[in-house]
Amino acid sequence: MGALIPLGDISRRSTRMPAVTLLIILINVLVFFQELVYGNHFVRHWSIIPAYVVAGHRPITILTAMFLHAGWFHILGNMIFFWAFGPAIEDAMGRGRFLLFYLSGGVVAMVAQILADPSSRIPNLGASGAIAAVMGAFLVTYPRDRIRTILIILIFVRITFIPASILIGFWFLIQLFHVGLVAEVQTGGVAYVAHVGGFLFGVVTARLWQSPRRFA
């Protein structure tokens, strides 16, 4: 077994503190602690259940579901990936544009999951779709940047530096592979279709969100 854990972009430094990235991480953490306090009822109420949304019930969950997580490993993994790629994209877009981009990517990801299986009654949740949008934007904005990454292969662990195009491209191929397995593996409400939808949104629209001052 192996894993790639991105730690951050070593090719550039943000010109200012990534306030929006930090705020989004804080909100996710606070909501996760609400999940721990209020349990499954809270999670189910604010998660997307495609059949309910299609029927016109609780459409607000298209937004709220992207701040929920299925467990400690889920939120930890998502926030690590977000911190690795978010600050550079926030810097490129500016704080306001980045916030709108992140939320839009999350909504597109959730809608993609609904369209993939509109009759599903399985709760779907997680920031993965929005973070996938950020990764898609990073791919087209800084494809040659090197990402400090923890490489784990069985008991072998080392820090290495991987071009963003290779790291993110490999991640996306894994998501495409799992899309065909969603029916079998999706038992915890974490949807690969949402990952693909968010990623494609980021790739296609990233340039439109970038701050004009970046090119000044």
CA neighbor of 7 nearest in space, from 195, 159, 129, 155 = 159
Instruction: Provide the residue-wise pLDDT of the chain in tens; the chain has 216 residues.
Output: 568 899 999 998 878 899 999 999 999 999 999 999 999 999 999 999 999 999 999 999 999 999 999 899 999 999 999 999 999 999 999 999 999 999 999 999 999 999 988 998 988 899 999 999 999 999 999 999 999 999 988 888 999 999 999 999 999 988 887 665 434 444 444 477 889 999 999 999 999 998 776 544
Closest C-alpha to 6, from 198, 160, 128: 160
pLDDT of residue 122: 87
Contact 207, 186 (CB under 8 A): no
CATH number of the domain that residue 154 is part of: 1.20.1540.10
Q: What angle do CA 211, 212, 214 make, to 5 degrees?
A: 70
Full residue range of the structural domain in which residue 186 is found = 2-215
For residue 186, what pLDDT is reported? 42
Look at the block and give the residue holding tokens 């994209």: 89
Structural domains of the chain, count: 1
